[in-house]
Structure 1
Amino acid sequence: MTDAATAANRSSGRNPISALPLRDLAGFTHRWVDAEGIRLHAVEGGQPTGPTVVLLAGFPQTWWAWRRAAPGLAKRFHVIAIDLPGQGHSDRPQGSYDTHTVASRIQAAVTALNVRKYWLVAHDIGAWVAFSLALKYEERLHGVALLDAGIPGISLPDAIPTDPDRAWKTWHFAFHLVPDLPETLLAGRERDYIDWFLKVKALSPNTFDSAEIDHYAAAVAAEGGLRASLSYYRDAAESARKNHDALGRQHLTVPVLGISSSHGSIPDMAASISPWADNTTGVVIPHSGHFIPDEQPAAVVDALTAFIAR
């Protein structure tokens, strides 16, 4: 890419998701970059000469999931939070949402932002993408941190538990796989659905205020966001197949930090990943549910800072 093209890609540009207002974070700038033919949205801030930390969020959130942790990271690092394809202010392409395809697009976006090597930090579905990206582009990473996520084909269970004490954490995987039915039931009721996820899966139901719930619901409802969100689940079997194919050739050698929480979905992220990664460490964040960056941002910043320092 030429310098002129790179500069154009890094300009604030036009918001392609017109139905979704932009939310600003002090010290960060909005970017849109070309990523294999689609436009991805990112916010960039922090120390331009510091180590780069790339942040990916999961369902049902956007880059805004990092609004509480990113300023703390920005004190020492160059921070980029990217909306996945179909998420937030990024394009909602037709076609595959398997995590290897998405990983290629995320890597293209990072390259367009002139970043050669970086630390990758990802939560939930973002961690699905990050694991596949590490398999495809390990040479571009210093390390990867994965927060509370079962990875397709790796640690995501094949069967959904039927015990009510556990089923509430994973029941939606099967629901999202059903063709057409989720769209029929959720269209126009996205806020009710997102409200349930954010309030029930956080340790405290007061973690998210009404404005935050409105924001995430609007992002899912806007211009194909619901279809795109469901597509990650519907393509999870292909993600698993490609993960297994890649792991048949090599294990991860890049440092991996597994971040779990006291009341999250995966009790020990490090243990769930360690059979496929040669250099894995773990930390458990206390007093947190699934949405660790929202619930305990200072602890997340401390864990990531220590990981990068090592």
Structure 2
Amino acid sequence: MISRLPLPGLPGFTHRWTEGEGVRLHAVDGGRPDGPVVVLLAGFPQTWWAWRKVLPELARRYRVLAIDLPGQGHSDRPPGSYDTHTVAARVHAAVIRLGVAKYWLVAHDIGAWVAFSLALNHERQLHGVALLDAGIPGITLPESIPTDPARAWKTWHFAFHTVPDLPEILLAGRERDYVAWFLKAKALSPDTFADAEIDHYAAAIAAGDGLRAALAYYRDAAESGRRNHEALSRGALSLPVLGISSSHGSIPDMAASLSPWAADTRGVVIPGAGHFIPDEQPAAVAEAVTAFIGDRTGSAGRGCPAGTVRCCGS
């Protein structure tokens, strides 16, 4: 049961629960109450805890909300569709109920799937969106996976997760082994994640209907893609979009992949990281996000991020 999951604390942050279109969502709230609001969404196989190293850095300037998506962490695992437009509506409603009128959105992996759809539907209530190392369903996510072993290990699970019933049969009771493979194989260093962190993420997926919910995002990816194209038929995104890639991630140039769908796109590449950029290079992620927001608001961080972050276009 979700209620029995350990709830790790983070100094300066408060656990909150709110409702988004009938679904109870968990959020971690902290930072400057009078600052711009930054909402963080994590991906598979993680929870809000993926941002634990980034949150304190951003909290110096912003009010920061890290939200567990439906099916993640301490949020509900509702039945029905997990297409990203349905999920985005729930996340956005939850943010509004937390007293936020307009916000910046930063998201990784499946969280980026949701963030892209949220931007398509609620652009006027976003200042901008930063997307980390993710192919977007129907947009930049390939419809077929490579069979070359040198590349297939990065994307093989997209097809596996869509097969009815089989993943549950094979993975039930083995969630920790499965989660550990992703965290170790897709990080640049296999030592990035401690055993306790792997335990945390595995327990969240094993709790309640967590496995079903995690797989549902992939099983509904085709519907997510269809609805993305339907929304884009009304026009491309006009809000600022930042694509954050890494030196050893899945998407070499997020900005280039997103630019046909967003008029105001820029990108950065963070060295020394694989797919799990917020865990592997949290200071660089915070730096890139701060520079992105500052460039649009006239506050600190104008221009391309400096230091450990390499600008890769605009």
Instruction: Please give the TM-score of this superposition, normalised by the length of structure 1.
Output: 0.95
Q: CA deviation at 1:187?
A: 0.2
Match of 1:115 in 2: 100
Question: 2:70 is matched by which residue type in structure 1?
Answer: P
- After superposition, the C-alpha distances for 1:138-185 in whole angstroms (9 at most, x for unaligned) are 000000000000000000001100010100000000000000000000
Task: Answer yes or no: is 1:240 the counterpart of 2:225.
Answer: yes
In 2, Cα distance between equivalents of 1:17 and 1:198: 22
Deviations along 1:94-124, one digit per CA (max 9) or x if unpaired, are 0000000000000000000000000000000
Large movers: runs of 4+ above 2 Å: none
Is 1:64 matched up with 2:49? yes
2:151 to 153, 160, 166: 166
1:279 aligns with 2:264: yes
Name 2:84's counterpart in structure 1. 99
2:126 paired with 1:141 = yes
Q: Corresponding residue for 2:66?
A: 81
Structure-2 residue corresponding to 1:124? 109
| In structure 2, distance between residues paired with 1:198 and 1:17 | 22
2:205 paired residue number: 220
SS at match of 1:76: coil
2:137 aligns with 152
Cα distance between partner residues in 1 of 2:269 and 2:36: 24
Q: Which residue of 2 aligns with 1:44?
A: 29
| Residue in 1 that maps onto 2:309 | none
* Among candidates 171, 179, 190, match of residue 205 of structure 1: 190
Cα offset, 1:22, TM superposition: 0.5
Cα drift, residue 19 of structure 1: 2.6
2:255 match: 270
CA deviation after TM superposition for structure 1 residue 20, in Å: 0.9
Give 1:18 deviation, angstroms.
1.6
Within the alignment, does 1:193 sit opposite 2:178 as a pair? yes
Determine whether 1:175 maps to 2:160: yes
1:112 aligned partner, one-letter code: R
| Residues in 1 aligned to 2:131 and 2:154: alpha-carbon distance in whole angstroms | 18
CA distance in 2, matches of 1:31, 1:112: 11
Q: Does 1:302 align with 2:287?
A: yes
Tell me, what secondary structure is at the counterpart of 1:255?
strand
Deviations 1:13-65 (CA, angstroms, capped at 9, x unpaired): xxx82231101111000000011111000000000000100000000000000
2:39 paired residue among 25, 49, 54: 54
Partner SS for 2:11: coil
CA RMSD of aligned residues (A): 0.6
For normalisation by structure 2, the TM-score amounts to 0.93
Paired letter, 2:116: F
> In structure 2, the residue corresponding to 1:18 is in which secondary structure?
helix
Tell me how far apart the structure 1 counterparts of residues 87 and 256 of structure 2 sit (CA, whole Å).
25
Unmatched 5+ stretches in structure 2: 296-314
Deviations 1:234-266 (A, max 9, x none): 000000000000001111000000000000000
Instruction: Using the TM superposition, give the Cα deviation of residue 68 of structure 1 relative to its aligned residue in structure 2, in angstroms.
Output: 0.4
Q: Hey, what's the Cα distance between the residues in 2 that align with 1:19 and 1:165? A: 40
Q: SS in structure 1 opposite 2:38? A: strand
The number of residues matched between the two structures is 295
Determine the C-alpha separation between the residues in 1 that align with 2:138 and 2:98.
31
Instruction: For 1:175 and 1:215, locate their aligned partners in 2 and report how far apart those are by CA, in whole Å.
Output: 23
Output the amino acid matched with 1:117: K
Q: CA separation in 2, counterparts of 1:192 and 1:26?
A: 30
User: Which consecutive unaligned segments of at least 5 residues does structure 1 have?
Assistant: 1-15
Percent same amino acid at aligned positions? 77
Matches of 1:188 and 1:144 in 2, distance apart? 37
